[in-house]
Amino acid sequence: MSDKLMTEEEVVDRLRSGMTIAIGGWASRRKPMSIVRAMVRSDLTDLVIVTHGGPDLGLLCAAGKVRRAIYAFVSLDTIPLEPHFRAARQAGAIEDEPLDEGLFHLGLQAAAWRLPFLPSRAGLGSDLLRDNGRLRTFTSPVPGPGGEDEELVAMPALRPDASVCHLNRADRRGNAMFLGPDLYWDDLMLQAAPSGGRFISAERVVDTADLRGEGCLHQMRISRMMVDGVVSAPGGAHFTQCEPDYPRDEAVQAAYAASARSPEAWSTFRSEWIDIPEAEYQRKVREGA
Amino acid sequence: MTPHVTRAEVCAVAVAECFRGDGELLANPIGTIPMIGGRLARATFEPDLAMTDGEATLIANDRAVVAPEERVIEYWNPYRSMFDWVWSGRRHVMMGASQVDRYGNQNLAAIGDYARPKVQLLGYRGAPGNTINDPTSYWVPNHSPKVFVEKVDTVTGIGWDRAAALGQAARFVDVRRVVSNLGVFDFETPDRRMRLRSVHPGVSVEDVVAATGFELAVPADVPKSRLPTPEELELIREVIDPEGARERELPDPD
């Protein structure tokens, strides 16, 4: 029976510079931050990040790890605009591949189903077709609902080389569940990535027999067939929200956001909160340092 | 003596009016005053509207912002379910707009050249899909020539001119209203240019024209935006927004 337990560093060892990496969660909610912190500390570079963006993308931008961002929005929720991402965009430091949220969904679904694309109306008439060079329009080969010819957008498959997500509970084999209000796109991100590149961290790793008792049946949405590595990471989503285990840590998020003001401020934040072992990070959080 | 009605309360009523006639669909106003206005419409003349808690459920509560344990939940509506409503034409969203032009094109993504923006904003978010599929209205709490511009820098939500150019493919486009802190605007003109529908009490037509960076269609007689009824005012103040969040989003000019 496969035991997929590993550390954040072992996840990062399986990633390569230049890879396209999908990061789960949504804005500043249930982000796999302990893995992202390990990515920041690594020598990875030139990454393409696929995300419903929050501080995951911002941190990686601040650390100079990002070649291109594929996203529909980037926000810290309580701080509407992500300052490190904005700084990177305004400095011309990263390539930009914007999407509509619904197209983002279809791109992951197409990849998970091994399709070249899925069709949508989203994007027609907007500047998305100007700003995202991978989008194409086509005439539907079959008539629309009213018998008419349909001009549609082909959303190409978003095929990450690896996906990383943070769940509330998991077992050592990779079965996992979300306990908060929303799974976001975690299951699709994991299914869109190839075998060998699908990683989750979890607040608690429990025996398979105990998983069901942690929540309700309908929350058991991540199967071990979608997962190659499991990191036991209590507090792993901090400072983002991880309901019902903990709310967002607004004080640390505010300090993170403020660190976009100058290279010195970023350097201070980085040395205090990123360039330390994860165990020390979690100790600081517990002690309210 | 009639109680003083604040600008925020006039705006909430103007927002509610955007949803009049919508029947049983997802009214999805984003922002403080939009949410208050949507709740007001449902509590009065559009009782069948469905509305979110701002996150992952549809709730029946009248209060705009509801603590999780007090929510009367009708449906689990995670983000992914939103596309079922959007793509089937069962949602009327009211979004913000960093820029909006005379045809109702909206920009949420970036100010300046998109490739290297002067100011990076939120992103395209769901605006392209929202506008091509469903009725869409906008809320602008800071009406100025920087927001109401001749031409938006990036079209995230499509307007009536883009829809006309698309033809058949844009048959579901319905850019309905813009509510700002100064007035209410629609597109009920022959060429679908933005029209001043009403000015809020205390605002002149000249004020609106001066704060708008393009030529508005201005009828000979511009009505005043309607005031809340006594019942509506009580609902806003006692039930929907007892904490007065509306006044923080839009402080009263008087």
User: Is B163 in Cβ contact with A125 (below 8 Å)?
Assistant: yes
A275–chain B Cβ distance below 8 A for any pair = no
Residue B64: the pLDDT is 97
Nearest-by-CA chain B residue for A90: B117
Q: Degrees (nearest 5) of the Cα angle A182, A207, A34?
A: 55
Q: Is the ipTM of this complex over 0.85?
A: yes
Contacts of A92 in chain B (CB under 8 A): 115-116
Pairing of strands A47-51, A20-23: parallel
Q: Do A126 and B158 touch (CB under 8 A)?
A: yes
**Minimal Cα distance from A85: which residue of B?**
B120
- Chain B residues in contact with A89 (beta carbon < 8 A): 110, 116-117, 120
What is the CATH architecture assignment of B7-249? 3-Layer(aba) Sandwich (3.40)
Q: Do A181 and B172 touch (CB under 8 A)?
A: no
B173: chain A residues, CB-CB within 8 Å: 125
Mean pLDDT, consecutive 10-residue stretches, chain B (254 aa), reads: 87 98 97 98 98 96 96 97 97 98 98 97 98 98 98 98 96 98 98 98 98 98 98 98 98 91
Number of residues that make up chain B: 254
Name the amino acid, one letter, at A86. Answer: R
Is A69's Cβ below 8 Å from some Cβ in B?
no
Question: Minimal Cα distance from B130: which residue of A?
Answer: A122
* B123 token code pair: 């992103």
**Per-residue model confidence (pLDDT) at position A289:** 60
C-beta atoms of A125 and B133 within 8 A = no
The shortest CB-CB distance from B133 to any of A121, A131, A152 is to A121
A125, B83: Cβ pair inside 8 Å?
no
Rg (CA), chain A: 19
Cis peptide before B187 (omega within 30 of 0): no
Contacts B131 to A, Cβ<8 Å: 125-126
Cα-to-chain-centroid distance, residue B44 = 18
User: Cα distance from A104 to chain B (closest Cα, Å)?
Assistant: 10
Taking contacts as CB-CB distances below 8 angstroms, the residues of chain B near A74 are: 122-123
Q: Which pLDDT score is estimated for B2? A: 65
Record: contact B123-A26, CB cut-off 8 A: no
The count of CB pairs under 8 A between chains A and B is 135
* Domains of chain A, earliest start first: 5-99+160-204+219-286 (3.40.1080.10), 116-156 (no CATH)
Residues of A in contact with B116 (CB under 8 A): 89-90, 92
**Best of B119, B124, B152 to disrupt the A interface by mutation (most A CBs within 10 Å)?**
B124
Candidates A30, A100, A221, partner chain B, best to mutate (most B CBs within 10 A): A100
**pLDDT at residue B3, as a whole number:** 78
Domain range annotation of chain B: 7-249
Across the interface, do B117 and A126 touch by the CB < 8 Å criterion?
A: no
* Minimal-distance CA residue of chain A relative to B89: A121
- C-beta atoms surrounding A171 within 10 Å: 22
Contacts of B156 in chain A (CB under 8 A): 126-128
**Residues of chain A positioned with their CB less than 8 A from the CB of B129:** 100-103, 120-123
**Quick check: A168 contacting B, CB < 8 Å?**
no
User: Does the bond joining A263 to the residue before it have cis omega, within 30 degrees of 0?
Assistant: no
pTM of the model as a whole:
0.97
Question: CB of A53 within 8 Å of any CB in chain B?
Answer: yes
- Count other Cβ atoms within 10 Å, centred on residue B114: 18
d(CA B9, nearest CA chain A) in Å = 25
**What is chain A's pLDDT, residue by residue, as a tens digit (289 residues)?**
789 999 999 999 999 999 999 999 999 999 999 999 999 999 999 999 999 999 999 999 999 999 999 999 999 999 999 999 999 999 999 999 999 999 999 999 999 999 999 999 999 999 999 999 999 999 999 998 888 889 999 999 999 999 999 999 999 999 999 999 999 999 999 999 999 999 999 999 999 999 999 999 999 999 999 999 999 999 999 999 999 999 999 999 999 999 999 999 999 999 999 999 999 999 999 998 6
Q: Do A182 and B109 touch (CB under 8 A)?
A: no
**Which residues in chain B have their CB less than 8 angstroms from residue A96's CB?**
114-115
Count CB-CB contacts under 10 A for residue B222. Answer: 16
What is the spatial distance between Cα B238 and Cα A122, in angstroms, rounded to a whole number? 40
The DSSP string of chain A is ----EE-HHHHHHT--TT-EEEE-SBTTBS--HHHHHHHHHSS--SEEEEESBSHHHHHHHHTT-EEEEEES-B--SSSSS-HHHHHHHHTT-SEEEE--HHHHHHHHHHHHTT-SEEEESTTTTSTHHHH-TT-EEEE-SS--TTS---EEEEEE----SEEEEEEEEE-TTS-EE--SS--TTHHHHHHHSPTT-EEEEEEEE--HHHHGGGS-GGG--B-GGG-SEEEE-TTTTTTSBBTTTB---HHHHHHHHHTTS-HHHHHHHHHHHTSS-HHHHHHHHHTT-
Chain B residue with minimum CA distance to A71: B123
Contact A100 B57 (CB under 8 A): no
